[in-house]
Structure 1
């Protein structure tokens, strides 16, 4: 795993200062502590920081092709590089190294942009072709690896694996985008179609850009998508056998490494499944690690220990306590942009624990999105059945009135918490799913904003791009559209951002076998009954894994990587919660109603309401703005 950075002049090919590229790379040193390099030519400069995983001594970057016609900097892993190498050698290609980087160069020379279709893995790379004088920027199908880009005032395009790489360039403007504040307060992160800074973009997942000198910058081009429009017509047994085949291939392909390798183990279905298949394929005990909490109701380490004993893994665990938030500023700095998924803290801690023993760790991320494992997806599936039989003209008035009158009862048994369901049934499926995923509803956000910020937003609502994505999805049902949006919006913006930044902060390579694109494409064709049955999500996956895992693991209530921030913000972090309203950084932006934030904090601390997610969002926003050095 690595960090990349570079500068490309889109019009006149001006000289690129290698020192400037080097400084951009230095800001990414945590992504690649094992080596660095810079290459420049008229109008272009490429830089690299290397974390050695494959061909430890033989694949330095930037790497030039054997004929000298192309140069690449690459972040990621190509899991089928050995098969590709054999195919390319049969066509006459010659190789000087034993890694995957040179394979990408040869694939480009043979297939051009179509080389992407041949690459199985996670990647973000920049490849410069000297003959065509073109820069090829590409990102993997699901968006595991990131690329940030910014058009600068001197006519150049700068790019880097993280925003901090761009921040090292003196010409980057540090002006916040008010639309990103609305996005962030809605989702808890800044999604891939936006950046916290004006003028900064993220290359979307499954897209590439082909840039030429003496030409206007080309827009990103989509090269991959997942379709839910088709359905498999096979027996349950045949589908289960095919799923197991995909799972085994996905896991074993990601176990290739020239450095120590292990796995994260939470004790949930997904990480336990990965560990089970690793144990099946390995002659040595699998190295596993897990993180627990000092709040008993949130701690899952007993389940992780059960799975570790079952497969005789070399297991280690560690406990996260409230005082770990002494490093709050460091956590915020990993992401540059504000990021409020509180599970980032235990994810970082488990990465730290893993890095003490391995350099590569496999995770269970991706199965919930692909196989419908989230509770919100199950609710969406059931609600869509109601919408299909009741016309909107009836649903709107009836359920809208019930939703308005029914009390909000977070304290009540789940079956009595009907307010959200009534509200969801009163609108269409896309709007309901956006509301289910949003951290804060539009009414609350509007109350929080100052008149100045409301004016800058000019009526923009963060749910609109999400709803539009669902409506345009290649899908047949409401559940399909929900899963499509999770894979294309939530996964790269939240889950993969969290794992990439926290793992790279400690120079650990995280691999996600359950995001193998062939597995994702297979899952998208499953009949709905293979995904959701009754209250059970991930139905086929759970049935398939019964040969490996006990029902106590497969069918226990889903918990997730939960962080007990509500308790912490009422206890050891109460002063932090109170300080948000009077924070100098938040106040200088002029974006919020400080008095209202103060009342929200006191209500939470007193136990009158649970505002922990909002307070955590504002706390992380404050730290991020401070780190970026911007105030509005």
Structure 2
């Protein structure tokens, strides 16, 4: 795991000091070593976190004649097999790590080298013979890559994080359209970023830059292709793919561990680690003293005892204000999911014990773990059974349902379900996952031009492609291309790398994902049981409490934070004078949200939190340039 940065400047040799300055902003991603390549028209920079091949694994890496140069962030789990193939084909490799295989695979396959990689990666390859830069992002988006096309008039700059591009002089002008997407998702999906001049390379994409022209190509996307297997064969195949994905991610020359909750995904990962012979296994969980509705510590502790791990618990007594600032520092753009703070703290606690940790990320999107999968099934039955006039009446009455801010979300979900009772499946789903509704966004943006807040839901509608009544596998396919890469995997990468910890997610293995999309939906959601096939696949290894457990999730007590340790920061960031000075949002609309939260009329804690993150981002990343 590392940080990469670089520039292409037509007709010039880039300044070494510039590339070093960009790379230095990524030292948290790679505290162990650094490297730079400067040549005609290109500069590549690298910061290293040593995980594999500790002695000879530095970068940039080159082919035999030095014409092909690469920098790489991530891990190639099948590099040993690829290395043998390349040596047999006559290539000369001088290291024992994974990065060097990229330049030689490029010689063999060109841009199609990505079809041969199993791993998480973002890399840049410079082909000096063609004066061409190739950028790539892994299939599911585990590793980030930002770029600024047209840099210095026809060039291109790229980096693992946007802060390195800002260090190269890229404009800090905010993209107000992207901020509208932020208010809807609480994250900004690719290709947009919070900065008008900076884009994100989407998952499963390649970018080519040559002669001042930039082209993008998608090389992989998840597809639903049901396969005719017996039920037992589906379950056995799922187990085989999970165990194989976990075993592949145990390759490291440093200590490994796992993040462990009380749920089934991380428990299956630990079970597969134990089956693969990992020992000792350090496991890490976070606790919430005084907030029982959020705490899974007892269940995680029981799972740890079951598998005989070396277990560590971190109490979430956090510096909330400092944590929010750390999230902005890590993302360089507003990010409204407060779980990021927990990942940052958990990563910091794990880092003294391990350099690599495995997680259960991806299981909910892949195997229907979120309540919205069950909600979509219930909505279909609701439409079939309840006449439209009664559904419309229930939608109007739903506004009277009170909500809880104590970690119990059933009443909020019931209100949202009834409110969407007259909508088709895609529109209902969009209303469930969205935070600031079109009405709230219009109120917040006040009299600003409508175009600046349009398109907030474009990602979701585009992924459904005009289908209004999708199946659950299609919903999973959409989640794998939206919530997973831009929310879950994004905060997992940024917050773990802030502590120099490499986090690996076996449940987003490309082969496992594609296999799961061949399984019929009734094997993933059977009546009210989510992840049914996964529970069957690991029934003999898992403790009974895990097999019975429902979805809770790693969520902090945001409402308690806002009323307690975060209250001074809230008052500073979202006071009417502060909102007026910013000139972006309508002060009255912000004050109304704060009043609803304060008086308990509606749980607006995530709305308030995300607006705090937005204002703090302006202060840390936009105002600083002025």
TM-score, structure 1 as length reference: 0.94
Matches within 5 A, 1:425-444: 425-444=421-440
Secondary structure, counterpart of 1:488 in structure 2: coil
Report what 2:359 is aligned to.
363
Report what 1:84 is aligned to.
82
> How many Å separate the matches in 2 of 1:565 and 1:415?
17
Secondary structure, counterpart of 2:420 in structure 1: helix
> How many Å separate the matches in 2 of 1:31 and 1:164?
12
Report what 1:15 is aligned to.
13
> How many Å separate the matches in 2 of 1:471 and 1:400?
27
Report what 1:256 is aligned to.
251
2:235 to 225, 240, 257: 240
Question: 1:4 and 2:1 equivalent?
Answer: no
> How many Å separate the matches in 1 of 2:598 and 2:530?
35
Question: 1:571 and 2:571 equivalent?
Answer: no
2:593 to 577, 595, 600: 600
Report what 2:401 is aligned to.
409
CA shift at 1:300, angstroms?
A: 1.0
1:399 to 386, 391, 402: 391
Question: 1:380 and 2:376 equivalent?
Answer: yes
2:190 to 189, 192, 208: 192
CA shift at 1:279, angstroms?
A: 1.4
CA contact (8 A) 2:372 2:432 kept: yes
Question: 1:108 and 2:103 equivalent?
Answer: no
CA shift at 1:579, angstroms?
A: 3.5
CA contact (8 A) 2:69 2:125 kept: yes
Secondary structure, counterpart of 1:47 in structure 2: strand
CA contact (8 A) 1:373 1:537 kept: yes
CA shift at 1:585, angstroms?
A: 5.8
Deviations 1:331-383 (A, max 9, x none): 32111100111111111111011101111111110111111111111211332
> How many Å separate the matches in 1 of 2:581 and 2:145?
30
> How many Å separate the matches in 1 of 2:420 and 2:121?
38
> How many Å separate the matches in 2 of 1:414 and 1:363?
26
> How many Å separate the matches in 1 of 2:374 and 2:623?
41
> How many Å separate the matches in 1 of 2:208 and 2:95?
27
Q: How many residues align?
A: 619
2:42 to 38, 41, 44: 44
CA shift at 1:591, angstroms?
A: 1.7
CA contact (8 A) 2:178 2:192 kept: yes
Deviations 1:455-481 (A, max 9, x none): 452x614113311211268x9943122
> How many Å separate the matches in 2 of 1:572 and 1:298?
17
> How many Å separate the matches in 2 of 1:600 and 1:149?
35
> How many Å separate the matches in 2 of 1:355 and 1:416?
37
> How many Å separate the matches in 2 of 1:273 and 1:140?
24
CA shift at 1:534, angstroms?
A: 1.3
1:117 to 104, 115, 118: 115
Report what 2:167 is aligned to.
168
Report what 1:279 is aligned to.
274
CA shift at 1:618, angstroms?
A: 0.7
Stretch of structure 1 that moved more, 426-435 or 377-386 = 377-386
Query: Which consecutive unaligned segments of at least 5 residues does structure 1 have?
Result: none
Secondary structure, counterpart of 1:467 in structure 2: helix
> How many Å separate the matches in 2 of 1:586 and 1:358?
43
Stretch of structure 1 that moved more, 443-452 or 257-266 = 443-452
CA contact (8 A) 2:459 2:482 kept: no
CA contact (8 A) 1:578 1:598 kept: no
Secondary structure, counterpart of 1:190 in structure 2: coil
CA contact (8 A) 1:193 1:201 kept: yes
Q: 1:472 to 1:71 in 2, by over 3 A?
A: farther
CA contact (8 A) 2:136 2:207 kept: yes
Report what 2:206 is aligned to.
208
CA contact (8 A) 1:188 1:339 kept: yes
2:214 to 208, 212, 217: 217
CA shift at 1:544, angstroms?
A: 1.1
CA shift at 1:87, angstroms?
A: 1.6
CA contact (8 A) 1:192 1:489 kept: no
CA shift at 1:426, angstroms?
A: 1.4
Question: 1:131 and 2:129 equivalent?
Answer: yes
Question: 1:562 and 2:561 equivalent?
Answer: no
Deviations 1:131-184 (A, max 9, x none): 1221110010000001001122432211000011111112x1111111112111
Question: 1:520 and 2:520 equivalent?
Answer: no
> How many Å separate the matches in 2 of 1:259 and 1:476?
48
Q: 1:300 to 1:330 in 2, by over 3 A?
A: same
Question: 1:296 and 2:292 equivalent?
Answer: yes
2:304 to 305, 308, 314: 308
Report what 2:327 is aligned to.
331
Question: 1:551 and 2:544 equivalent?
Answer: yes
Secondary structure, counterpart of 1:425 in structure 2: coil
CA shift at 1:583, angstroms?
A: 6.7
Secondary structure, counterpart of 2:347 in structure 1: helix
> How many Å separate the matches in 2 of 1:612 and 1:94?
57
Secondary structure, counterpart of 1:37 in structure 2: strand
Deviations 1:506-527 (A, max 9, x none): 1111100111110000001110
CA contact (8 A) 2:576 2:587 kept: no
Query: Which consecutive unaligned segments of at least 5 residues does structure 2 have?
Result: none
